[in-house]
Every structure is written in structure tokens, then in C-alpha cells.
Structure 1
Amino acid sequence: MSVYAFIFARGNSKGLPGKNIRMLGGHPLIAHSIRVAQQVAGIDRIFVSTDSDEIAVIAETYGVTVIRRPDELATDTAPEWLAWRHAISYLHAQGHKFDVFVSLPATSPLRSVEDVEQCLACIDRHTDVVVTVTPASRSPFFNMVVRDSDGVSQLVCSGSSAHRRQDAPAVYDMTTVAYVATPTFILTNERIFSGRVRSVIVPRHRAVDIDDIYDFKMAEMLLADKENNYVGR
């Protein structure tokens, strides 16, 4: 099967301006996704979809192909699903046919090569999408609530008969470590959970999703700790 990897990176981040080109561990943030993709066995081509000239230059410096994203698909309100469709349709129009689509968001720089390879191993004819998850620190059965305008609150899963956390189903947070799907599924459906979804569990220290400066500082700390441990071996 032919496997194409994509990194979707807008230039106008609001939570942390310029985050995709912000330096982390000696490389721009987006480069961490590129470098992992370059090490994954089975990935044939790597593309960066962006509206930003700065991001495009960095992507080309790291040896990957740039797909120019239309401005209307690079706003805060534009669903990334539409950017996925645009990239696939653009490549199809260029004569590129591929079997597996992989998205490696720039905001998840601590993923490992093995995380991505596990996701690729899970995609088959019975699976439409593979996502990554990490154990949740809170549970809708015990300490997650919904509330109305008067502040009246109740548990998200208020009808559950589980009285101990150990008796409730394990719950997970979705992460941005990796998404794997078929191009056909993306082009013919409206969202991830329209199909049969499988998940791969990744540890929390590799599942940091950078949205603001606090997330970035956490990533810096974890990356430094990883590098120090490696040097110490």
C-alpha cells in the first residue's frame, strides 16, 4: 500500500501566535512532525499543507513538499476535515493515487516513531479511521459535570449504576498524536466517527497537544527530560 503523510499547519494561531515555527529543542515545532514521519517505515511521501510562507519555507528546508492551503480553509472556524479533503483532492488532481492517509499534527511534537507505526498497523479493510488516545485523568461517571445557565449541575453519565471508579468503564482522551484513514473515507464522509474507528493508546508524556504557552512549556520540560535521560544512558 502507498502511504502519504500530511502535516496541516496554519500560520495564524490565536492561542500561541507563531507556534508552528516556534523553536522547540533546536527545531521549529513543525519540524518535529516532519522528522518523525521521515523515520516511519512505510511512509512514502510527506506533505505540509499551509497558508503561511514562513511555514512553507521551513517545510521545504526539511525536504518535504508543500501544498498551499486556500485562505478560507485556514481560519479559526474552518474544520480541519476540509483541509484534509483539499489536500487529497489536490494530489488526486496531480495524478497522485495513494491508499493510506496519515495526519501528524504539528501540535504533538513528542510522539514516537513507534506510535505512528502502531497506528498504521491497525488500519485494515474493517477499519475506517485509527486515532490515538491517552488515559483520561477525569471520568464522566464520577467527576465531569454538565451545568445549565443557573449553575445546576449533574454528572455527564448521571444514569450510571457504577458506584466505584473501578467499576466504571475506562475512559480516554483523544490526542493529536496521529490520525490514519483511507482517502476514500475522508472524501465521502463528514467526520471521523462516521465510520468504524479503532484507537491506539499512547502514554500521556507523548500526548502533549500544544495550544497555548503553558502546553509549550510542558513540551519543553518533557523534551529536555527525554534528552537528559538519553544522554545519561
Structure 2
Amino acid sequence: MSVYAFIFARGNSKGLPGKNIKPLGGKPLLAHSISIAQQTQGIDKVFVSTDSADIAAVAEAYQATVIMRPAELATDTSPEWLAWRHAITTLQAQGDDFSVFVSLPATSPLRSTGDVEHCIASLDEQTDVVITVTPASRSPYFNMVVRDEEGASQLVCSGANVNRRQDAPVVYDMTTVAYVARPKFIMSNDRIFSGRVRSVVVPRERAVDIDDIYDFKLAELFLESKDNPYV
């Protein structure tokens, strides 16, 4: 079974310009995902899909293979699913078929090799996609609301007999720690939840997803913390 890891990194980041190559803990953000992929048992090759020459140069410096992505697949509105398909078809056109697709977004630098290995091992015959989740700080059954333009508000999930947070069903936030699927599923479906999805729980300290400078500072804090299990 051949397992390929992919890091999808656009050059045109709006929330935090240049974030994918912004230094974090002494190396570019992108390099954290590349390094974890290279250290994870079972991963055979590591690729970076990007539209940016600067990102491509960093990827090559860290011994990842670059797949240059068309500009139309690297906009704010481009579904990353299409970038996944582009990477798969690019390799297949080169005669390089593989068994398992692993996406390790650059925005999740605190994952561990164990997190990734757990996800790969969870892709069994009854599962189409493996995602990662972390315990949510708020619950749609208790303290999450929707509101209209006039401010009228109601619970996202109403009707449940929930009077305390402890009474609410346990809910999780999806994270960007890892996604695992078979190439055939990605090429024949349009989204993750088109298939049978299984999740792996990752602790919150390893599930930071960097979108803006506040997330970046939080990741720096965890990296600098002496008791952080990632260090």
C-alpha cells in the first residue's frame, strides 16, 4: 500500500499574508507539516501543491516534491477539494498511482506523528474519509445561537431537553490536523461527507488552526511552553 502526503499551500493568504512561509519556532510554517510527514511511519512520498514560487522554493528546501497548481485553483473561493483532485490527476498522468491520500494542511503545525499514524490506521474498508476533531468549547444544544437582522435569537439545535451544559450531547470541532482518503473516492465524489466518515480525536493543544495573527501567536505560545507535549 502506497501512502502519499500532500500539503496544500496557497500564496494568496488574506487572513495572515504570507503565513505559509512565516517563521514559526525557527522554521517556516509550511516546514512543520513537511517534517511531520517525513517522520510519519507509512508515508512514502511528500508533496506540496502551490501556486507560489516562494512557497515552492521553501518546499524544495525541505525536500518535498512540488506540484504547481493553476491560479484558478488557488483563490479564496476555490474549493480545496479541486486542488486535491488536481494533485491526484497530476501524479496519475505521470503514471504514479497510489493507494492512500493524506492531506496535512500547513495551518496545523502542532500535530504529532502519532496523530497522523492514527488517522492512516483508521482508514478501513468501511470508511471513505478520516477526519480529525477536537472537543468543542461551545455546544449548539446549549450556548450557540442563530440570530436574525433584528437580533431575535434561538438555539442552533432546539427541542432538546437540555438545561445544563452537562446534559448536552458531546460535540466536536473539525480540525485541519489531517484528512485521509483513497484517491478513487476523491475523484468520484464532491465533498468529504458524501461518504462514510470516521473521526480521530486530537487534543486542543495540537489542533490549533492558523487563520490569522491571533492563531499564530497561540501556536507560538504552545511551541514555547515547556510542558507542551509537541516540544
Partners in 2 of 1:180 and 1:39 — Cα distance?
17
Q: Which runs of 5+ in 1 are unaligned?
A: none
Q: Which residue of 1 aligns with 2:212?
A: 212
Aligned amino acid, residue 106 of structure 1: A
1:144 Cα offset (Å): 0.2
| Greater than 3 Å deviation, 4+ residue runs | 226-231
Partners in 2 of 1:19 and 1:127 — Cα distance?
33
Q: How does 1:42-81 map to 2 (within 5 A)?
A: 42-81=42-81
For residues 111-133 of structure 1, the C-alpha deviation after alignment (integer angstroms, 9 at most, x for no partner) is: 00000000001001110000000
Match of 1:35, SS state, is: helix
Partners in 1 of 2:138 and 2:64 — Cα distance?
39
Structure 1 pair 144–230 and aligned structure 2 pair: CA distance change class (3 A): closer
1:228 Cα offset (Å): 8.0
Partners in 1 of 2:130 and 2:100 — Cα distance?
11
Q: Which residue of 2 aligns with 1:192?
A: 192
For residues 34-92 of structure 1, the C-alpha deviation after alignment (integer angstroms, 9 at most, x for no partner) is: 00000000000100000000000110111110000000000000000000000001111
Match of 2:89, SS state, is: helix
1:169 Cα offset (Å): 1.2
Aligned amino acid, residue 136 of structure 2: A
- Asked if the contact 2:223/2:230 (under 8 Å) is kept, the reply is no
Q: Which residue of 2 aligns with 1:116?
A: 116
The alignment yields a C-alpha RMSD, in angstroms, of 1.4
Q: How does 1:79-94 map to 2 (within 5 A)?
A: 79-94=79-94
Partners in 2 of 1:14 and 1:153 — Cα distance?
31
TM-score (norm 2): 0.97
- Do structure 1's residue 24 and structure 2's residue 39 form an aligned pair? no
Aligned amino acid, residue 141 of structure 1: Y
Partners in 2 of 1:170 and 1:155 — Cα distance?
16
- Asked if the contact 2:142/2:162 (under 8 Å) is kept, the reply is no
Partners in 2 of 1:185 and 1:93 — Cα distance?
18
What is the number of residues matched between the two proteins?
231
TM-score (norm 1): 0.96
Partners in 2 of 1:50 and 1:35 — Cα distance?
17
